[in-house]
């Protein structure tokens, strides 16, 4: 599936470097801004664009049940070997459709999307958001990290502002409850001037259209 999912360009070729970069950063540091928002274990967690499995393994180690979605074979297969856990189920799937995941009819207390939405253009984001929202349990939370900065060679990325996300989310019954802007932790992104917006949205049944 990796070859057919837009936004995965360049990842397979750079798998070795990406594992070194991503695994060198502790998940609790990457997500420090939202630690107070994360559910207590055991919760049902979905990691869309799970990459090297760093975050999925972190959640699993806390006692959560995790579904990790990653369309790039070179990342997913290696991540499964690096982070073996009975609490992680890996799925070969991708945005905007998430077809394989949606057929499972699972619902999640927390959905994580770290450096993912930037790979979709405006039309793809509009198609993706209803599919993502449909996977949230009542009172479930969606947390995104949105990347801002220069696009690395060979990658497909778009700048996505928090207001772009909230405009798509509002008609789906999702409302923003937290927004944080900060710099990068990785030396390569720091040198490139990459910054991040962390956005948390919650699904309230009373808000559903």
Three-state SS string across 102-168, please?
Answer: HCCCCCEEEEEEECCHHHCCHHHHHHHHHHHHCCEEEEEEEEEEEEECCCCCCCCCCCCCHHHHHHH
CATH number at residue 43: 3.40.50.150
| Torsion angle, alpha carbons of 70, 72, 77, 82, to 10 | -70
The total number of structural domains that make up the chain = 1
Q: Give pLDDT tens digits for 4-60.
A: 465 555 566 677 787 888 888 999 999 999 999 999 999 999 999 999 999 999 999
Neighbours of 8 (CB within 10 A): 22
Question: Whose CA is closest to 7, among 130, 125, 140?
Answer: 125
Q: Are 187 and 123 within 8 A, CB to CB?
A: no
H and E: helices and strands count for the chain: 8, 7
Q: Give pLDDT tens digits for 142-196.
A: 999 999 998 888 888 999 999 999 999 999 999 999 999 998 887 878 777 899 9
Per the structure, the complete domain to which residue 83 belongs is given by 2-207
């Amino acid at each position: 599936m990796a070859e057919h999912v837009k936004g995965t360009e360049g990842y397979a070729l750079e798998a070795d470097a990406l594992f070194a970069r991503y695994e060198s950063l502790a998940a609790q540091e990457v997500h420090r801004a939202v630690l107070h928002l994360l559910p207590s274990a055991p919760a049902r967690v979905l990691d869309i664009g799970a990459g090297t499995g760093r975050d999925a393994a972190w959640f699993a180690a806390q006692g959560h049940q995790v579904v990790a979605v990653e369309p790039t074979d070179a990342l997913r297969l290696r991540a499964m070997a690096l982070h073996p856990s009975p609490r992680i189920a890996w799925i070969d799937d991708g945005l905007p459709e998430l077809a394989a995941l949606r057929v499972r009819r699972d619902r999640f207390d927390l959905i994580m999307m770290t450096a993912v939405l930037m790979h979709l253009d405006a039309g793809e984001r509009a198609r993706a958001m209803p599919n993502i929202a449909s996977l949230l349990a009542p009172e479930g939370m969606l947390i995104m990290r949105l990347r801002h900065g220069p696009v690395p060679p060979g990658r497909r990325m778009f700048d996505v502002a928090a207001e772009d996300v909230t405009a798509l989310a509002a008609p789906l019954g999702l409302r923003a409850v937290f927004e944080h802007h900060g710099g990068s932790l990785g030396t390569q992104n720091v040198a490139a001037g990459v910054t991040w917006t962390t956005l948390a949205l919650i699904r309230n049944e009373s808000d559903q259209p």
